[in-house]
Chains A and B, each alone.
Chain A
């Protein structure tokens, strides 16, 4: 991580954070460097800073979210911004207003940042064309969840000291996972080797073209891995014809102490949450502070989001 500090000149400041795909290595590394400074702030007694004082941040969440929404909420407040969270369930969108009209309406209120979570892929890009402020993607459809990938990267760096040269396995429902996609792009960009492991029905077509190796067998896929990222198996997938049963999924793809042995001895486990204990991960393993980074991910998530808000907000 030999990065010159503040490599982002103000005049070249990127306007939006829409996905890891649109990020340069320098931008990604700058965000991670910046985030490190906020880890300390968040652990200190007085957590308030004045960086975004006078700025308005709107959290526009079209999909229910607990940790991402509260994390952005807290991040904005700790930086001193005025944070408003839109309750979309009661808004005009239920009355047939389109995303674009909502964008124009909000834009007229002069926000500085809109944080958007939307069930449709590419919705934040569309929004960004219609507003004057910064748009930060807090997850769109199955496409990208850039701040999750960045916080995962920061968590790994915090423990392992680096990402370059590591081997990272991403396991579970890759098909429907924006977390998987953003992580594939970011970990590749930062020099890691990425394996994806999933049953065939949950593996997207042509995934190798994203620069990963794909496996349907945990034993082969975990071989030599330093990090094991588990993904949430959405229960609604069980109703369809993706998988025969939870029991069978756990048998072949649930992470247990036995399966973890296929990975490197000092391998660490990550999970973006919320977890389905006993479906994709053994409950004891999930809580084992020696191998599980789950709590750290949540903690560093706030720092990463503070860094993003700071760096992307119009000065």
Chain B
């Protein structure tokens, strides 16, 4: 490949505290050769392809810490190819894939399969996670050591939490020793049993079993208590309520080291959006009150929440066109992650740099992967977007195989124009 010279960009790269007008030089190997406002003449070869970014914003490719790819077992919902297209259209270049496939990713041969399959079919960087426990039953931990040597970046039971305190203690103790990342879905099943939406006015009106914020809070309390004893690499996948944030704040202030994620759904919607019966808004953890949403935004601002994830969960029509209690849980979101996140910039609740940080360098640091940065020598995974272009989300135009978006017809502002992967232009709108 020839060298590329990207000019007239506003470069925002929180990993090097950069927000400036400048250019990027990409070498023949797809790495960043030079970046910023002070590019030297001799950094650019005469044959370099020049791309004018016309003062649009250039950021490191987004790292999405939670997305579901249907392979194996659920190819009718999503596959590596369709997920890649959706991701690149959303400026996402690195994805942590969830292991709750069929069969589950809980053993070495499955990891081999998914890595090979991903290499053949996907056109983004895939970072597979494996299940935390065998069969996600919450009893027997998976082979953390063996699986990590095969390329697993983290361990999670995705939509299940380990209920047994004893098992969780053992997992954390063992994980501490070998240094793997535990990604917990915080939910006490006894408290959330049969629940499908937030416990409150909407659940009362719709006559549905609610899920109390306590179900989330109590697992976080328990795990952080254990973390004090076994300080392993611990990450909470998604939180949904202000009560959880209070626990997180207290523990972070006490010096405990862990990271926290939030789904873009919980940042851009609240329980009132469910209306009469929009099952597309049935997600886990559930959408809660506007107060909770505001608290989560504030949590990002003051650093209590480290990453924003898409929680991309493709589900087909049949799974959603059911009475609320029976309907499948989850929404797609990888393609709309950035524009929805930018809403928080447009409504002045978060600085742009903070938003980009939670989508790039923060997840990369937690995962200990060499992504989310445009420092010299890094892979040239990049996203170029116009901050202000307005557009309307239409499920039919999204690239995912499944169309269960939670933000159909939403007016958003900010559009991805180009996505680069290892220096190659892989998406252009």
Contact = CB atoms under 8 A, between A and B. Distances in A.
A178 to B, nearest CB: 6
Interface stretch (B77-85, B98-106, B174-182, B320-328): B320-328
B69 to A, nearest CB: 26
Given A121-B325, A125-B276, A206 B201 contact: yes
A121 B324 contact: yes
Interface in B320-354: 321-326
Contacts of B323: 99, 118, 120-123, 126, 141
Contacts of B277: 122, 125-126
Given A122-B277, A125-B276, A126-B277, A141 B325 contact: yes
A188 to B, nearest CB: 13
Interface in A106-146: 118, 120-123, 125-126, 140-144
Interface residues of B, number: 19
A205 interface: yes
Interface string A133-174: 000000011111000000000000000000000000000000
A196 B325 CA distance: 26
Instruction: Say whether chain A's binding surface is mostly helix, strand, loop, or mixed.
Output: mixed
A206 B204 contact: yes
Contacts of A87: none
B208 interface: yes
A120 B326 CA distance: 8
A100 interface: yes
Nearest to A121: B207
B72 interface: no
B318 A98 contact: yes
Interface in A48-64: none
A83 B125 CA distance: 61
A85 B271 CA distance: 37
Given A122-B277, A126-B277, A206-B201, A142 B321 contact: no
Contacts of B199: 205
Instruction: Say whether chain B's binding surface is mostly helix, strand, loop, or mixed.
Output: loop
A98 B207 contact: no
A107 to B, nearest CB: 15
A190 interface: no
A244 to B, nearest CB: 19
Nearest to A174: B204
A100 B200 CA distance: 29
Given A100-B321, A118-B323, A122-B277, A210 B204 contact: yes
A181 B207 contact: yes
Interface string A204-229: 11110110000000000000000000
Contacts of A126: 277, 321-323
B206 interface: yes
Given A118-B323, A120-B326, A125-B277, A178 B205 contact: no
Nearest to A145: B207
Nearest to B318: A98
Contacts of A123: 323
B90 interface: no
Contacts of A181: 204-205, 207
A209 B289 CA distance: 14
A99 B326 CA distance: 11
A207 B322 CA distance: 26
Given A98-B318, A125-B276, A142-B208, A120 B325 contact: yes
A21 B201 CA distance: 14
A143 B200 CA distance: 14
A206 B207 CA distance: 12
A121 B202 CA distance: 12
B210 interface: yes
Contacts of B204: 181, 204-207, 209-210
Given A140-B207, A142-B208, A210-B205, A205 B200 contact: yes
Contacts of A122: 206-208, 276-277, 323-324
A204 B322 CA distance: 24
Contacts of A210: 201, 204-205
B167 interface: no
Nearest to A185: B205
B163 interface: no
A140 B203 CA distance: 14
A98 B325 contact: no
B206 A205 contact: no
Given A121-B207, A209-B204, A99 B324 contact: no
A164 B373 CA distance: 67
B208 A205 contact: no
Interface in B222-245: none
A206 B325 contact: no
> Of residues A100, A122, A123, which shows the largest number of chain B Cβ atoms within 10 Å of its Cβ?
A122
A207 B207 CA distance: 11
A126 B318 CA distance: 13
Contact of A205 (B201, B276, B318, B321): B201
A58 B316 CA distance: 30
B10 to A, nearest CB: 45
Contacts of A143: 205-208
> Of residues B204, B210, B325, which shows the largest number of chain A Cβ atoms within 10 Å of its Cβ?
B204
A122 B324 CA distance: 7
Contacts of A209: 201, 204
A205 B271 CA distance: 14
Contacts of B325: 120-121, 141
8 contacts: A120-B324, A122-B207, A122-B323, A125-B276, A143-B205, A181-B204, A206-B201, A207-B204
Interface of A: 21, 98-100, 118, 120-123, 125-126, 140-144, 178, 181, 204-207, 209-210
Given A121-B207, A123-B323, A126-B322, 6 more contacts: A121-B208, A121-B323, A122-B208, A125-B277, A126-B321, A209-B204
